[in-house]
Each structure stands twice: as structure tokens, then as C-alpha cells.
Amino acid sequence: GAGAAAPGRRTGTDTSGRAAIGARTLRTDRWWVQPLLTVVALVAFIVYSAFRAFQDAHYFAEPYISPFYSPCITTACEGDTFPELFTGPAFISPAIYILVVPLGFRLTCYYYRKAYYRSFWLSPPACAVAEPHRRYTGETRLPLLGQNLHRYFFYLGLVFNVVLTYDAVLAFRDETGAWGHMGLGTLVLLANAALLWLYSLSCHSCRHIVGGRLNSFSRHPLRYRFWTLASRLNAHHMRYAWVSLFGVAFADFYVLLLATDTISDLRFF
Ligand code: FES
């Protein structure tokens, strides 16, 4: 803070009782590199995924469907990997109806919260760097109160993981519907599904759901086993968050290249 707050209205690092340091930080390393990289990577993903979601084309290349468009639940869908549930207005892309689940899941994720609170809100931008905001209310009010919805998005995300795994299984059929096909696209969809499972199973809410609020682990051996596994994965949650984000964009991009005949699928069987 600038240290200029009037007496009695002191907030943040100007609170009385704290050392009167004028500088915003005494750190001499390049603490701003990480928040900057986070902004660049997240903005790139947001721009690309928004473009693809609104494009409403090139998301299906037999037998592959882009993860941005799955589950594809309207009658306007290219391909038929999922039951078509309703007919929507033609100007709404099928990706828009399902966007809320992955978007809500990632936006409320504990790791991404840290990432965007630091890099976009600068609240604070790094350890031991004072934030520019005068007041801090945490996640006690709207809209940030909504972060508590994370556990419900976690459950919905599991349903999506099942659907995307099903898409990867369907990718073992060829254009005629016969089983026994395997192309690079099959592996791309499989890897995407696997990474999304790792992201979900390493989730902080997942760890709490399987092992939280237990007074005695010895009386719940199975949950203890799951909790141990979730804890191990949880240590790498940040990595899974980034790799699965990259993975889902890559899987979409691969389908885009096939659907526009830019490349043809490498075929193993
Ligand atoms: Fe990141 Fe739940 S904490 S997905």
C-alpha cells in the first residue's frame, strides 16, 4: 500500500500494528513472471475455446467428436454419439448448452482460483507482494460466494468424464461402424479422457468427499484407501489442471484438422 491511508481507515498492509513499509514488496526476484505466464496461457485458451464453441462447425470427423461438443445433445449435432434430446434455435451452437459444466468446474477449481486471483485480480499477485486492493472480503459475498458450488460441478464433471470416455471407446470403430479401428485420433481422445479423469480425481473436493469428516480411518478401510490415492493425486493437481486444459484444446484442434481435411488421420488398424 502507499501508506497514505487516513488514521482509523487503515486496511490491508496499512493496518496499524504492521511494519510501516512503503514499498509494495521487498522481493527482488522476478515474482511477476508466473502470474504473467498464467494470464497469457489462460487468455489463449479462452480465446481459442470461445472461437471453437461459437464456430458450430468442424467438430465431428467420423468416428471422432471434439470434446468441446460432447455430449452433443441437440438435433443439430453432426454425427450421433449421444442421444439428441431437443431441437434448439439454429443460431445456438450445441457447444453452448454444455459449456457451463466444464467452465463452472474450472472456474471454481481451487487451483484455478489461486491462479486467477493472483494473475488477474492481483489479490495478491505473489507471496509477500501487497495487493493493490484496499478491502478484502474473501469469498464471503456474491459473486465469489459461488465458489462453494465447486463440489457440485465436480459431480457434473464426472458425468462428462464418462461421456468423453465413451467417445474414446466409440473411436475404436471405423467410418462404417465396424469395431477394431485405431487411429491417432483414437489415442488423442483416450489421452484426453485419461487426463480429465486425473484432473477430477486429484480435485480437492474429491479428496474431501472420499475421506473427509471421518473420525476414524481404521473403521473405514475402503474410504481410507481411496483417500490415500486421492491425496497422492492431489499433490499434482496443478499439473493435471494445466495438462488436461492443454489436452482438451489439442483434442479439439486435432478433430478440427481432420474435419477440414487439413490432414488425414494416422491409422494403425
Ligand atoms: Fe481443482 Fe476441484 S480443486 S478441480
Confidence of residue 261 (pLDDT cuts 50, 70, 90): very high
CB of residue 240 inside a 6 A radius of ligand 1: no
State the Cα–Cα distance between residues 186 and 173, nearest whole angstrom. Answer: 9
User: For a pLDDT cut of 70, what percent of the chain falls above it?
Assistant: 96
CA distances from 109 to 24, 73, 101, 178, 202 (A): 28, 25, 12, 39, 11
State the Cα–Cα distance between residues 220 and 99, nearest whole angstrom. Answer: 37
Query: What are 231's three cell numbers?
Result: 491425496
Query: Quick one: which atom of ligand 1 is closest to the CA of 200?
Result: 4
Of 72, 103, 82, 71, nearest to 245 (Cα)? 103
State the Cα–Cα distance between residues 243 and 210, nearest whole angstrom. Answer: 24
Pocket test for ligand 1, best of 113, 205, 208 (most atoms within 8 A of CB): 205
Q: How much is the ipTM here? A: 0.99
Residues 129-153 have a mean pLDDT of 89
State the Cα–Cα distance between residues 16 and 7, nearest whole angstrom. Answer: 9
CB of residue 204 inside a 6 A radius of ligand 1: yes
State the Cα–Cα distance between residues 109 and 22, nearest whole angstrom. Answer: 34
CB of residue 110 inside a 6 A radius of ligand 1: yes
Question: Residue 229: pLDDT above 90?
Answer: yes
Report residue 159: phi and psi, to 5°. -60, -40
Phi-psi label, residue 141: left if phi above 0, alpha if psi -120 to 50, beta otherwise: beta
Q: Do you find a cis peptide bond into 83, omega within 30 degrees of 0? A: no
- Cα of 85 vs centre of ligand 1, distance in Å, is 29
- pLDDT tens, position by position, 1-49: 444 444 555 667 777 788 888 888 999 999 999 999 999 999 999 999 9
At 19 the pLDDT is 81
Query: Is the overall model pTM greater than 0.95, yes or no?
Result: no
CB of residue 111 inside a 6 A radius of ligand 1: yes
- Cα of 13 vs centre of ligand 1, distance in Å, is 30
At 8 the pLDDT is 52
Query: Quick one: which atom of ligand 1 is closest to the CA of 109?
Result: 1
